[in-house]
Amino acid sequence: MMAGLGRGLSWAMLGLALVFLALPILMVIPISFSSSPVFAFPPQGFSLRWYQNVRNADSILSALSLSAQIAFLSTCASLLIGTLCAIAIVRGYVPGGRAIATLMVSPLMVPGLVLGIAFLQAARQFGLHDTYMTLLLAHIIVTLPFIMRTVLASLSLFDFTMIDAARTLGLSYPRALWKVMVPNILPGFMSGALFGFVASFDNYPVSMFLVDVRTKTLPIQLLNQLEISPDPTVAAVSTMLIALTVCALIVCDRLVGLRRMAAI
């Protein structure tokens, strides 16, 4: 009787949590199609004018392009240096592998704003004034922990004797890694890269201090717009972002499986 009550309660809480989690996201979509500039519920009228607004808003489009570039490049850089480092840790080439692994994921525990301002001041002190480069370098620290975590997990399951076999068959060490190891741990790469990309693409706290008036990432641009004059254009951009996220998740689910991705 009591156990049944507990079970009922936990299902009720899950239902409540799911509705609660979905509500703000679902709220944005109808607003983006409404014809009135105020966010009333239930929304009035139907129009696509806010989407046309997005197409004409250069600031949003350039922010979108900048965010995509920074996220892509920093994820690629982190994949490369992160994987090399993960091999050295898993194979015991470096002393203190556990400590290094902890260090590599530790930026996750540091508030993003603190990371951002710290890097900005250091970069300026050492004469790095280029906004693009500053953002890109800072985002390596945003993406690297996610990639390290998943790649370390997949590499610890990878059988490195296969590399030795490939070398016996005449491949050089880098080629053996590329031809044998990379295809084997592709799911780990995929989920690490996806998490890293999303973390960078969505990141506002690290970027906040690093952007300038002309070079803004998408989250910062949206944040500024919301602070100054929120209108349904932001809802239209948000709806497109949600659609993009859902597409990316479906692709990843087909390729790797969502449960498996979230598990690592």
Partner 1 sequence: MTILADSAVHAALPVTADRWRVEPRALMALPALTAMALIFLLPLGLLLAQSLWDANGFTLAGYARVLADPYYVKVIWDSLKLAFNVTLIALIIGYPAAFALARARGRTQVILFALVFLPLTVSIIVKTFGLMIMFRREGIVNWLLVTMGFVDRPIRLVFTELSLVVGMVNVFLPFMILPIFAVIRMLDPRLADAAACLGAGPIRTFWRVTLPLTMPGIVAGASIVFSIGVAAYVTPTLLIGERYMTMSQVMAKAFLNLRDFQLGATMASIMLMIALVIVFASSFLARGAKGGR
Instruction: Kindly state whether residue 157 participates in binding partner 1, applying the rule CB under 8 A.
Output: no
Instruction: Kindly state whether residue 172 participates in binding partner 1, applying the rule CB under 8 A.
Output: no
Taking CB under 8 A as the criterion, the residue among 63, 71, 112, 233 binding partner 1 is 112
Count interface residues toward partner 1 (CB under 8 A).
Answer: 95
Taking CB under 8 A as the criterion, the residue among 64, 70, 90, 193 binding partner 1 is 90
Complex with partner 1: residue 30 or 69, whichever CB lies closer: 30
Instruction: Kindly state whether residue 99 participates in binding partner 1, applying the rule CB under 8 A.
Output: no
158: which residues sit within 8 A by CB, 6+ positions away? 90, 181, 184, 185
Q: Could you say which residues in the range 203-232 bind partner 1, by CB under 8 A?
A: 204-205, 208-209, 219, 222-223, 226-227, 230
Q: Could you say which residues in the range 127-146 bind partner 1, by CB under 8 A?
A: 137-138, 140-141, 144
- Give min distance, CB of 58 to partner 1, in A: 20
Report the distance separating Cα 206 and Cα 143, nearest Å. Answer: 12
Distance of CA 185 to the CA centre of its chain: 20
Instruction: Kindly state whether residue 66 participates in binding partner 1, applying the rule CB under 8 A.
Output: no
32: which residues sit within 8 A by CB, 6+ positions away? 50, 51, 232, 235, 236, 238, 239
How many Cβ atoms are within 10 Å of 159's Cβ, its own excluded? 11
Q: Could you say which residues in the range 7-36 bind partner 1, by CB under 8 A?
A: 7, 9-14, 16-18, 20-28, 31
Closest CA to 70 of 260, 219, 222, 176: 219
Report the distance separating Cα 50 and Cα 236, nearest Å. Answer: 6
Instruction: Kindly state whether residue 115 participates in binding partner 1, applying the rule CB under 8 A.
Output: yes
